[in-house]
A = this chain, B = another copy of it.
Amino acid sequence: MSLKHGLLGFLNYGDMTGYELNKAFKDSLNFFWPAHASQIYRDLAAMEKKEWLTSRRIMQEDKPNKRLYSITDDGKDELNKWLTLRNGDEGVCTRDAFLVKVFFSGEKTIDENIKMFEDYRDNCQKALNMRAKIDNNIDEYKKDIVDAQKAFYWMATAQYGSHHYSMCIAWANEMIEKMEAMR
């Protein structure tokens, strides 16, 4: 997986510009796969060279001109190849800088660490609250791209998000409690 597959996924729903793709990522996948606009534009250009996409310029008068991308048959093949590819450790092994930091936090005082965990918990709580927004976004998109099938998998990822943050909050609270007992 790389950003390219995410872009192919969206373009498979219909033609989009880099700007729109950037928004689509922010509105839905951002929690699982953050993307910078600059990378989106760069990868779109690279994918056009590979002939996974074609593009055409759309002239506009009151707004800047834009470039609309369409997925090709090669692009669809690539997307399906990725979708049906069996996952090895994908999803099972997650890179998480916070956990590494925790691992080495024996160097710090308990009070510092309690604060670090409280911060973390609060950030998770904020993220959990924001999930409600994401669910709204999915509901809105649902109206445009009417397809109960698709919507189910969007909801599945949203569900994961909620479970994930709840778990993190519970874990942080457990650890804070233990640290307070140690103090």
A interface residues with partner B (beta carbon < 8 Å):
1, 5-6, 9, 12, 28-34, 79-80, 82-84, 86-87, 89-108, 112-113, 116, 119-120, 123-124, 127, 147, 149-154, 156-157, 159-160, 163-164, 167-168, 170-171, 174-175, 178-179, 182
Given contacts A92-B127, A152-B106, A182-B152, contact A1 B100 (CB under 8 A): yes
Query: Which chain B residues lie closer than 8 Å to A124 at the CB level?
Result: 92
A34 touching B95, Cβ below 8 Å: yes
A157 touching B99, Cβ below 8 Å: yes
- If over half of A's interface residues share one DSSP class (helix, strand or loop), that class is named, otherwise mixed; here it is helix
Given contacts A91-B123, A107-B83, A120-B87, contact A100 B32 (CB under 8 A): yes
B31 touching A93, Cβ below 8 Å: yes
B154 touching A93, Cβ below 8 Å: no
A156 touching B102, Cβ below 8 Å: yes
Query: Which chain B residues lie closer than 8 Å to A82 at the CB level?
Result: 101
B94 touching A32, Cβ below 8 Å: yes
Query: Which chain B residues lie closer than 8 Å to A149 at the CB level?
Result: 106
